[in-house]
Amino acid sequence: MPEGDTIHAAARRVGAALVGSDIVSIETPHQRHAMDRWPERLGGRGVRSVDAHGKHLFLRFDGDLTLHSHLRMGGMWGVYERGRRWSRSPRRAWLVIRTPEHEVVEFDGPVLELMTESRTRFDLRLAALGPDILAPQLDEKRFLTRLREDDPTRGIGDALLDQRNIAGIGNVWKSEGCFDAAIDPWRKVRDTSDAEALAIVRATRPRMQDSVSRGGHIRGLQVYERAGRPCPRCKHRIRARGQGEDNRTTYWCPECQR
């Protein structure tokens, strides 16, 4: 599942291809958008900027129109030179934007909507998002406020996945962050101090920033998908178990994460 670093890296690539370029065509091949008339509504407009908040990506067009996308479990953004073969089948394309040099394609994207700029600010789902872990300045105070409003009996690993607490952390970074901070992901939120919660996001942020700078490629995973292997810190065996209502797998070392 794409996490915040993947989406921020995609925003950079998509922005580099679209901002300042002529938009030759916009297509929405998927049946669901057949009646939306986006090609007409967006025709002739340039792309002003492309940005991300957590796992959400925004293409901001001239004249107050914004395309909002969320890739959920399996979507992706592809940026290709014109004429190059796409990495997924054209049948899976939901959005195709062409410039003289590039084709920008969103594949398998279940959330794709055109909204006015002002609606992006007042949309309830977007307003509910916690601070973006990859924002230029991480709003730590707001993260802690949101965390303390959450169910205190929830495991801290599970709480980190909740985009209302902090936006951008997914299953990979939940496990890696708790490992880096040596905190047991099963520890309840109420038993996790502010300093400990901050230690997790402060450890996670630079690793996610590193991933963004490498186009979304993560270096040096410590525990994620390494169940049964020795812990890089203490050599005990790494474990894996489903956590939270969605039963998302958490990887951790029960010896050195307390």
Q: Binding residues for Zn ion, per CB under 5 A?
A: 231, 233-234, 236, 253, 255-256
Catalytic (active site) residue 55? yes
Ordered DSSP codes for 87-145 = SS-GGGEEEEEE-SSEEEEEES-SEEEEEEHHHHHH-HHHHT---BTTSSS--HHHHHH
Task: Compute the least distance from the CB of residue 234 to Zn ion, in Å.
Answer: 3
What the block records as the tokens of 137 is 């300045």
Task: Compute the least distance from the CB of residue 24 to Zn ion, in Å.
Answer: 54
CB 110 within 8 Å of CB 90: no
Tell which residue, 139, 145, 177, has the closest CA to residue 3: 177
Catalytic (active site) residue 100? no
Q: What proportions of the chain, in percent to the nearest 5, are helix, strand and coil?
A: 35, 25, 45
H/E element, 25: strand 25-27
**Residue 128 or 234 having the CB closest to Zn ion:** 234
Task: Compute the least distance from the CB of residue 238 to Zn ion, in Å.
Answer: 8
Q: For residues 31 and 190, what is the distance between their CA atoms, to the nearest angstrom?
A: 47
Task: Compute the least distance from the CB of residue 133 to Zn ion, in Å.
Answer: 24
**Residue 198 or 256 having the CB closest to Zn ion:** 256
**Residue 1 or 234 having the CB closest to Zn ion:** 234
Spot the catalytic one: 39, 55, 101, 232.
55
Spot the catalytic one: 3, 103, 106, 176.
3
**Residue 113 or 255 having the CB closest to Zn ion:** 255
- Residues tagged active-site: 2-3, 55
